[in-house]
A = this chain, B = another copy of it.
Amino acid sequence: MINFELYKVFYLTAQLGSLSKAAKALYITQPSVSHAIKQLEEGFGLELFSRTSKGVVLTKEGQVLHSYVEQAFNFLSLAEDKMAELKNLEGGELRIGGSDSLCKHYLLPYLEVFHAQHPNVKIHLVHGTTPEIVSYLKEGKIDLGVVRMPVNDIQLEVREGILIQDCFVAGSKYRELSGQVLSLEKLLDYPIILFSRNSHSRYAITGLFRDHGLVLAPEFELGSVDLLIEFAKTGLGISYVTKQFVRKELEEESLFEIKLDVPIPQSRVGIITLKNMPLTSAASAFIDRIPLD
């Protein structure tokens, strides 16, 4: 197979109709171009150009070759443009998997900033439980996942993000609990609202109760963190939510935190990617914006 590099010289020579001009365009000398063309001609056993005193003109065979090489050249030029786009985040896509409520409350602000800076990068966001997110990653459906730690999977690369603290919150209906410090046992006298899906946070809190010989049986199981917040506000019960994600409600005092006499373990956000799998430049740029531990 002929040295592809020669086609570049051939193409430019044909376009410019002159070895000298092609040489200038390629930042090489005219004899080099002459030599390159000769190599092509000898390779094919055909003359590609007829030389005149004012440049060169394609022969019939040269025209045939040129028609093909032109296409190839265009594709390769396009390719180089496209790669530059990808590198400069003027294209491509970012596919993120977020477990539970992290998508909305944790990721969204970063996504907004990223999108504002790189509007041409298409963003795909998928929800799922932690194991689902891990599966998506392994199947190549997403570039990175945002889940609660811990995640133990030898195939995964884990970057530790911020610490988050879950807590129980209630609305004004339970205002009398506002100043108090409750025991776990006492808390069970009130209707408890939990996230319905199997999540790390739910495992963690039921585990905590079990450790104290108690059973946490929720009055409501809700499918979204937004609903947990709404139900608590309405006074339907006491919701177990991530403190950072109800910061606004706590500040405006539509919700207040219920203090317990035992500490609720913190958990950590983890950014997971596939080990040994290079990140797209979009993914890697995005991760760089997320404050890690």
Mark A residues whose CB is within 8 Å of B: 1-5, 7-8, 44-47, 50-52, 59-61, 64-65, 68-69, 71-73, 75-80, 82-84, 86-87, 92-93, 143, 276-278, 280-281
A143–B277 alpha-carbon span in the complex (Å): 58
Q: A1: which B residues are within 8 A, CB to CB?
A: 8, 77, 80
Q: A4: which B residues are within 8 A, CB to CB?
A: 4-5, 7-8, 76
Q: A8: which B residues are within 8 A, CB to CB?
A: 1, 4
A5–B76 alpha-carbon span in the complex (Å): 11
Is A71 within 8 A of B75, CB to CB? Answer: yes
Is B46 within 8 A of A65, CB to CB? Answer: no
| A–B pairs, 21, beta carbons within 8 Å | A3-B5, A7-B76, A44-B80, A44-B83, A44-B84, A46-B83, A46-B87, A46-B281, A50-B277, A51-B276, A60-B92, A61-B92, A61-B280, A64-B79, A64-B86, A68-B75, A68-B78, A69-B75, A71-B71, A71-B75, A72-B72
Is B72 within 8 A of A79, CB to CB? Answer: yes
Interchain CB contact (< 8 A) of A65 among B72, B73, B82, B280: B82
Is B59 within 8 A of A280, CB to CB? Answer: yes
A4-B7, A5-B5, A51-B276 known, 15 other contacts, Cβ within 8 Å: A1-B8, A1-B77, A4-B5, A4-B8, A46-B83, A46-B87, A47-B278, A50-B278, A52-B276, A59-B278, A61-B86, A64-B82, A65-B82, A72-B73, A72-B79
A59–B283 alpha-carbon span in the complex (Å): 12
Tell me the minimal C-beta distance from A267 to chain B in angstroms.
Answer: 31
Chain B's closest residue to A67 (CB) is B79
Interface core residue of A45, A79, A280 (most chain B CB under 10 Å): A79
Tell me the minimal C-beta distance from A157 to chain B in angstroms.
Answer: 13
